[in-house]
């Protein structure tokens, strides 16, 4: 979608069932694991979006063969069983944190000359903690722009026989994920220690779960250290990607805001994604939630308003943005805490959320790591929302229309990062 804006009419409600696109976090991890593994992997229901496209393209440039089954989101990846065969490449990774951080670690240990770059915003997203960690292993990494940020230039690592590496966990969990995913390339046991409090922990659970499916069982000692054995990745044959739990949050919230009943299919009780716990927060706000093995359903039930909540959202940083919108429909002030990482994502999400929520009439207080949202007596109609090239800002603010006011969303095409078909799917549930 290349339109400058989309006008969403005031909707009376929301109802319906949505099949979710594939999980971004699972898709990009599985692609890298399948690439590094011995054997061929059939990857089913991969997310088709900007973030996975840059990952697929980068793997191709690094010499990994893959093909897509025509007319489907199913892929066959021919694992290389070790390090990348192409020893020189310049990779463009857009604004995909999951691709940038994991490929940085893998390329740094892969014995080649690589340059990794992205869009201007990616060059403002920190990566110093990951670079510091791979350097302990002997990686030769240089900053091409500002120290601590992409783009990065890598020369063949002079691998040292160190048995331990320490990574900081307080800015992004993706650095730890990157080191864990790449560690089996070392061919020896290595202990990865976490320095300081680790944020976004459920994403590391996804990493460990998928590494195990590819034959590498990491020994986890609390959240302090992880022992990665000297075992090579082996393809499990086939992997089916779950629906995206962060994308699910918009449709579940729609059911509550729109006083209807909505259902998402593709994630459920058995999900390995931490963002399914968004449903718990929604239940605390008064919505009725039902879980099946592979679906989640939401309705507001007899409550006519949602309850305000005060919640530590560190475990659900992405879906927590949807809670900030739900706060517009609550009976008091909602506080979302421990979300400092919002400031270094697609945009400064705390600032962006505060600015745009004020446009629809909310009273908002922001701090370094929290946001407090007090709803207006009446939502302002016809607000024009800026989205800051942040897919979640666009998807979040679409929900305001379900509260019975028209809204304009600028640059709706930015949802392509994780959900290119979002607007059609959204129109399908808005009444
Ligand atoms: O590992 C992952 O797949 C992700 C981790 C989270 O980032 P942080 O660890 O930087 O919070 C999350 O926000 C991002 O969308 C996906
Ligand atoms: C933070 C996000 O993305 P990334 O994987 O680029 O960090 C996100 O999708 O909300």
Ligand closest to Cα of 99 equals 2
Residue 212: CB atoms within 10 Å: 12
- pLDDT confidence of 2, banded at 50, 70, 90? confident
Domain range annotation of the chain:
5-21+242-429, 24-228
**301 Cα to the center of ligand 2, angstroms:** 32
Give the span between the Cα atoms of 67 and 49, in whole angstroms: 16
- ipTM reported for the complex, 2 dp: 0.99
Say if residue 24 carries a ligand binding annotation.
Answer: yes
- Which one of the ligands is nearest to 210 CA? 1
Q: Is the CB of 97 under 6 A from ligand 2?
A: yes
For the segment 190-195, the average pLDDT, to the nearest whole number, is 98
Query: Is 246 annotated in some ligand binding site?
Result: no
Three-state DSSP state, 377? coil
Instruction: Return the CA Rg of the chain.
Output: 21
Atom nearest to 345 CA in ligand 2? 1
48 lines ligand 1 (CB under 6 A): no
- Average pLDDT estimate for 391-413: 98
Query: Of all helices (H) and strands (E), which one includes residue 358?
Result: helix 349-359
Question: Contact at 8 Å (CB) between 61 and 89?
Answer: yes
pTM for this predicted structure? 0.98
| Nearest bound ligand to the CA of residue 127 | 1
Architecture of domain 5-21+242-429: Alpha-beta prism (3.65)
Cβ atoms of residues 184 and 177 within 8 Å:
no
Do the two domains 5-21+242-429 and 24-228 of this chain adopt the same fold?
yes
Nearest residue (by CA) to ligand 2, atom 4, is 97
The verdict on the CB of residue 319 being under 6 Å from ligand 1 is no
Q: From 428, 416, 32, select the one nearest 233 (Cα to Cα).
A: 32
Q: Is 345 annotated as a binding residue?
A: yes
Residue closest by Cα to atom 8 of ligand 1: 172
- Mean pLDDT over 137-163 rounds to 95
**Sequence-distant (≥ 6) Cβ neighbours of residue 377 within 8 angstroms:** none
To the nearest 10°, report the CA torsion of 22, 225, 114, 231: -80
Tokens linked to 119: 């869009």
269-302 pLDDT, tens per residue? 999 999 999 999 999 999 999 999 999 999 987 6
Query: 345 CB less than 6 Å from ligand 2?
Result: yes
Query: Where residue 161 falls among pLDDT bands split at 50, 70, 90?
Result: confident
Q: What dotted CATH number matches 24-228?
A: 3.65.10.10
Q: In what order do the strands lie in the sheet with 65-68?
A: 65-68, 75-78, 40-44, 238-240
**Is the model's pLDDT at 303 over the cut of 90?**
no
- With cut-offs at 50, 70 and 90, classify the pLDDT of residue 1: low
pLDDT band, residue 160 (cuts 50/70/90): confident
The response to whether residue 174 sits with its C-beta less than 6 Å from ligand 1 reads: yes
| Helix or strand (DSSP H, E) at 408 | strand 407-410
Active-site residue list: 318
Who wins on pLDDT, 373 or 13? 373
Helices (H), 90-244: 97-108, 128-136, 174-182, 201-213
Q: How far is CA 238 from CA 5, 42, 121, in A?
A: 40, 4, 35
Q: Is 125 annotated as a binding residue?
A: yes
């Amino acid at each position: 979608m290349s339109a400058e804006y989309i006008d969403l009419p005031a909707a009376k409600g929301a109802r319906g069932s949505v099949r979710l696109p594939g999980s971004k976090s699972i898709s990009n991890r599985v692609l890298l694991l399948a690439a590094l593994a011995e054997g061929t992997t059939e990857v089913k229901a991969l997310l088709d979006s900007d973030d996975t496209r840059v990952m697929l393209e980068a793997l191709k440039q690094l010499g990994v063969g893959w093909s897509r089954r025509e007319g489907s989101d199913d892929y066959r990846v021919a694992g290389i069983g070790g390090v990348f065969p192409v020893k020189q490449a310049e990779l463009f990774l857009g604004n995909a944190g999951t691709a940038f951080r994991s490929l940085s670690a893998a390329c740094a240990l892969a014995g080649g000359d690589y340059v990794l770059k992205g869009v201007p915003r990616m060059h403002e997203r920190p990566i110093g903690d990951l670079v510091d960690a791979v350097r302990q292993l002997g990686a030769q990494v240089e900053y091409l722009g500002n120290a601590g940020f992409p783009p990065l230039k890598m020369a063949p690592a002079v691998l040292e026989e160190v048995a331990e590496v320490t990574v900081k966990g307080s800015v992004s969990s993706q650095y730890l994920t990157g080191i864990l995913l790449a560690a089996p390339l070392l061919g020896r046991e290595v202990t990865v220690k976490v320095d300081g409090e680790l944020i976004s922990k459920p994403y590391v659970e996804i990493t460990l779960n998928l590494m195990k499916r590819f034959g590498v069982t990491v020994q986890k000692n609390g959240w302090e250290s992880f022992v990665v054995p000297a075992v090579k990745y082996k393809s499990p044959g086939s992997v089916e990607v779950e629906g995206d739990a962060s994308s699910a949050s918009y449709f579940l919230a729609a059911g509550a805001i729109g006083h209807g009943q909505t259902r998402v299919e593709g994630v459920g009780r058995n999900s390995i994604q931490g963002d399914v716990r968004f449903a718990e927060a929604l239940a605390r706000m008064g919505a009725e939630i039902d879980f099946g093995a592979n679906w989640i359903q939401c309705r507001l039930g007899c409550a006519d308003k949602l309850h305000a909540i005060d919640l530590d959202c560190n475990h659900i940083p992405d879906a927590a943005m949807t809670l900030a919108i739900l706060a517009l429909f609550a009976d008091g002030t909602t506080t979302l805490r421990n979300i400092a990482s919002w400031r270094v994502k697609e945009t400064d999400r705390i600032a962006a959320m505060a600015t745009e929520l004020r446009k629809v009439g909310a009273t908002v207080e922001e701090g370094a790591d929290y946001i407090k949202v007090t709803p207006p007596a009446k939502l302002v109609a016809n607000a024009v929302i800026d989205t800051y090239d942040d897919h979640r800002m666009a998807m979040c603010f679409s929900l305001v229309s379900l509260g019975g006011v028209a809204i304009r969303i600028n640059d709706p095409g930015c949802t392509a990062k994780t959900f290119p078909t979002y607007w059609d799917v959204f129109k399908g549930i808005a009444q």
